[in-house]
C-alpha cells in the first residue's frame, strides 16, 4: 500500500503541490521565528494510536531547541485518529501513513529518508523533552566529534532514572541478567550491563535507548539506518553495535533530560510484546555466533530464551524486565565532563 502523506496547508489551493513536496521528502520548516530557515534537525517520531499524546510531544519539542527543525510523524496505526491527524496539520510537521504497522525501525527509516538536515532525532511519541534538551545534546556532539549517536538522561514517571546507556550484550552478562534481573535487579551482571553503578556522567556506551536519540545523519546513513528485520525491540542494540563497528561512538549525555511515559503503544498488548522482545533477543544474539560450529550454542540460546519467555508470560507484567535501580534525583548533580 502506498504511503499516505499529509502536509501543512491541505486546505489551500496549493494542496496538490504540498502533497508532492511531502512525498519527495521536502523539508517542512518550524513555525515562528525560524520560518524559511533550512532546518538543522529532522525529528522522526513514530506513533501508534498516539493521538492523546502526540500534541504534548510536539509542545515539549518546541521548548527543547532554539534551532530550526522539521518533524516527520510516521503513523503505524491502522486508522488515523483525530489527535494524530491534527498534529500532522501543524506547520512544523508532515504526516506519513504507511497503511500498516511497519515496526519501529522500519518506520524511522521511512521518516528519515531524504533528510537534508545534519541531525536526526528519533523518538517515541510518549517522550517529554525538558527545555533545552536538544540543544544540550547538540552541544555534547560538538565535544565528541567522533560521536554518531547521543542519548539523553531518561526519567520515568515514578521518579526512576531509566538505564538508557548500556554495554553491548555479552554471553556471560546476558545470561546473568536474563536469569536474575527480574528478581534481583541489583545483581552484578545486570548492574554491569546496564551501567547502574555510581552517578550518571557523560560517557560512551555500547548502545543507547531507541526511545529518544540524536544522531548525526552522516553516521545513521553510513550504517544503513535500522535493520528492518527487527519489528520491535533490539533494533537499538543492533544499531549501536553497527555504529561502533563503523568507528563511531555512542555517547550518553545526562545533562540533556527527557521523561518517558513508557509503554503507550505496547501496554494494550503486553503479552504480544513480551513474545516480540524474546524473538528479537534470539535474532540478535544468534547473529553474534554464526557458522555451523556454533550451531549448538545457538540451540542453547534458543532453549534458554524459550524458557525465559514462558516465565515472563507467567509472571511478568510487561516486557521491561529488571526495574531501574537509580533515582532521577541523581541528575540534579550530574556533571558535563566527558568520560570514556
As separate numbers, helices (DSSP H) first and strands (DSSP E) second, the chain gives 11, 14
CATH of the domain at 256: 3.90.550.10
Report the length, in residues, of the chain. 340
Burial call 50-76: b when 16+ CB within 10 Å, e when fewer: bbebbbebbebbbebbebbbbbbbbbb
What pLDDT is recorded for position 263? Answer: 54
Backbone angles phi, psi at 52, to 5 degrees: -75, -20
C-alpha grid cell, residue 227: 535493520
3-state percent breakdown (helix, strand, coil) of the chain, nearest 5? 40, 20, 40
Is residue 221 domain-shared with residue 305, that is, in the same domain?
no
The pTM is what? 0.84
- Spatial distance between the Cα atoms of 29 and 42, rounded to a whole number of angstroms: 10
Regarding whether 160 and 68 lie in a shared domain, the answer is yes
Domain count, the chain: 2
Instruction: List, in sequence order, the alpha helices (H) in the chain.
Output: 15-23, 54-62, 82-88, 104-112, 133-143, 171-180, 188-194, 217-222, 235-245, 270-287, 295-315
Residues 327, 246 share a domain: yes
Same domain for 76 and 12, yes or no, is yes
Write down the residue that cell numbers 489551500 correspond to: 12
Q: What is the model's pLDDT at position 281?
A: 87
Provide the domain limits for residue 9.
4-168+188-262+322-333
Say yes or no: 153 and 282 in one domain. no
Per-residue pLDDT of the chain (340 residues; tens, 9 = 90+): 444 544 444 433 332 233 333 333 333 334 434 456 899 999 999 999 999 999 999 999 999 999 999 999 999 999 999 999 999 999 999 999 999 999 999 999 999 999 999 999 999 999 999 999 999 999 999 999 999 999 999 999 999 999 999 999 877 777 777 777 777 788 887 877 888 888 899 999 999 999 999 999 999 999 999 999 999 889 999 999 999 999 999 999 999 999 999 755 445 457 888 888 889 888 998 898 899 999 999 998 899 888 888 888 887 654 456 788 889 999 975 444 444 4
CA distance 267 to 278: 16
Q: What is the DSSP string of 218-280?
A: HHHHHTTSS-TT-SSSSHHHHHHHHHHHTT-EEEEEEEEEEEE---TTTGGGHHHHHHHHHHH
Residues 209, 237: contact at Cβ < 8 Å? no
CA angle 238, 76, 216 (to 5 degrees): 40
- Asked whether residue 196 falls in the same domain as residue 310, the answer is no
Residue 202 lies in a domain: yes
**Quick one: which H or E segment has residue 148?**
strand 147-155
- On whether both 245 and 278 belong to a single domain, the answer is no
pLDDT at 317: 55
Region of 128 (left: φ > 0; alpha: ψ -120 to 50; beta: rest) is beta
- Please report, to the nearest 10 degrees, the dihedral formed by the alpha carbons of residues 133, 57, 275, 245 taken in order: -30
* pLDDT for 10: 40
In this prediction, residue 126 carries a pLDDT of 97
Q: What number of other Cβ atoms are within 10 A of residue 242's Cβ?
A: 19
Domain check: are 250 and 275 in the same one? no
Instruction: Write down the pLDDT at residue 171.
Output: 79
Residues 223 and 299 in one domain: no
Residues 158 and 274 in one domain: no
Amino acid at each position: 500500500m502506498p504511503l499516505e502523506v499529509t502536509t501543512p496547508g491541505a486546505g489551500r489551493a496549493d494542496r496538490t503541490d504540498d502533497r508532492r513536496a511531502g512525498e519527495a521528502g521536502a523539508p517542512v520548516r518550524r513555525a515562528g521565528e525560524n520560518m524559511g530557515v533550512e532546518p538543522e534537525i529532522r525529528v522522526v517520531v513514530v506513533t501508534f494510536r498516539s493521538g492523546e499524546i502526540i500534541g504534548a510531544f510536539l509542545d515539549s519539542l518546541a521548548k527543547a531547541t532554539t534551532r530550526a527543525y522539521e518533524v516527520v510523524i510516521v503513523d503505524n496505526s491502522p486508522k488515523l485518529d483525530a489527535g494524530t491527524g491534527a498534529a500532522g496539520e501543524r506547520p512544523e510537521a508532515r504526516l506519513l501513513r504507511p497503511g500498516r504497522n511497519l515496526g519501529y525501525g522500519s518506520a524511522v527509516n521511512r521518516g528519515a529518508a531524504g533528510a537534508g538536515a545534519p541531525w536526526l532525532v528519533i523518538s517515541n511519541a510518549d517522550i517529554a523533552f525538558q527545555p533545552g534538551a536538544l540543544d544540550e545534546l547538540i552541544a555534547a556532539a560538538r565535544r565528541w566529534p567522533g560521536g554518531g549517536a547521543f542519548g539523553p538522561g531518561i526519567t520515568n514517571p515514578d521518579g526512576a532514572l531509566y538505564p538508557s546507556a548500556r554495554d553491548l550484550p555479552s554471553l556471560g552478562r546476558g545470561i546473568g541478567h536474563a536469569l536474575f534481573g527480574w528478581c534481583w535487579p541489583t545483581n552484578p551482571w545486570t548492574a554491569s550491563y546496564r551501567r547502574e553503578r555510581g552517578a550518571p556522567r557523560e560517557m560512551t556506551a555500547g548502545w543507547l535507548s531507541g526511545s529518544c536519540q540524536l544522531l548525526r545523519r552522516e553516521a545513521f546513513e553510513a550504517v544503513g539506518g535500522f535493520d528492518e528485520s527487527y519489528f520491535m525491540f533490539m533494533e537499538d542494540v543492533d544499531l549501536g553495535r553497527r555504529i561502533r563497528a563503523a568507528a563511531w561512538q555512542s555517547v550518553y549525555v545526562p545533562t540533556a533530560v527527557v521523561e518517558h511515559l513508557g509503554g503507550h503503544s505496547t501496554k494494550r498488548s503486553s503479552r504480544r510484546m513480551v513474545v516480540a522482545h524474546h524473538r528479537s533477543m534470539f535474532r540478535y544474539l544468534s547473529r553474534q555466533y554464526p557458522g555451523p560450529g556454533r550451531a549448538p550454542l545457538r540451540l542453547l540460546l534458543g532453549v534458554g530464551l524459550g524458557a525465559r519467555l514462558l516465565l515472563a508470560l507467567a509472571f511478568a507484567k510487561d516486557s521491561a524486565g529488571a526495574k531501574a535501580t537509580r533515582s532521577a534525583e541523581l541528575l540534579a548533580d550530574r556533571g558535563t565532563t566527558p568520560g570514556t
